[in-house]
Amino acid sequence: MQKGASKLKLALAVLTVLAAVFTIGGCMAAKADDPKMETIERVLELQFNGPDEEFLEAMWNPANKQIVDGVEVNEAFEQQVDDKYGAYFTDSELDQFMRVFGTYFPGLADIYGYELRLEDVDIELSDTVANRYLFTAEVAFQKKGGKEQRAEVGGVVLFSTVQEGKIGKFTYTDDQGLSERLKQ
């Protein structure tokens, strides 16, 4: 009777392990197939691989800037933004993202002579808010001739309910001091 109980326990343990494997595998497949997660990762790649010389040249070059109706316009930079980020954001959020976050880390890296490299990204769909994703990006950064350092950058992304698949809000919430460390 003990032998039969042992076999039953072993069979239940095997079934439990298999159920866990299939559940985890299903969740991983769901993440891999989620185009919104791919969008977030692509934006983070644009932010944390570089700095992108062409993008920054368009942004910084004074020859690209003109005053039109009292407003500074940089068509070369606007074209770079549209080419690189336009497919991922709603129009209104693209403008907001560029004003607040889009040039921040690439600009700091360029000014202070750092290279950025996106090492890893963890993205989770919120359990409580539809279309809300939380991310943590591991970023490596290094000054020429310096020691490579790392920081985790966290944030929140809300996808538009009007423009399917487009980011409606992108916010960095924590950078583990990355911005201050880049200024050194």
**pLDDT band, very low/low/confident/very high, at 8 (cuts 50, 70, 90):** very low
Domain range summary for the chain, segments of one domain joined by + = 1-33, 36-182
Q: Phi and psi for 61 in degrees, rounded to 5? A: -65, 115
**pLDDT band, very low/low/confident/very high, at 25 (cuts 50, 70, 90):** very low
| pLDDT given at position 63 | 94
Q: What pairs with residue 133 in β-bridges?
A: 125, 157
Overall average pLDDT of the 51-65 stretch: 94
Structure confidence by residue, pLDDT tens digits, 118-137: 999 999 999 999 899 999 99
What CATH number labels 36-182? 3.10.450
Cis peptide before 51 (omega within 30 of 0): yes
Going from the C-alpha of 127 to that of each of 51, 58, 116, 134, 172, the distances in angstroms are 34, 40, 31, 10, 19
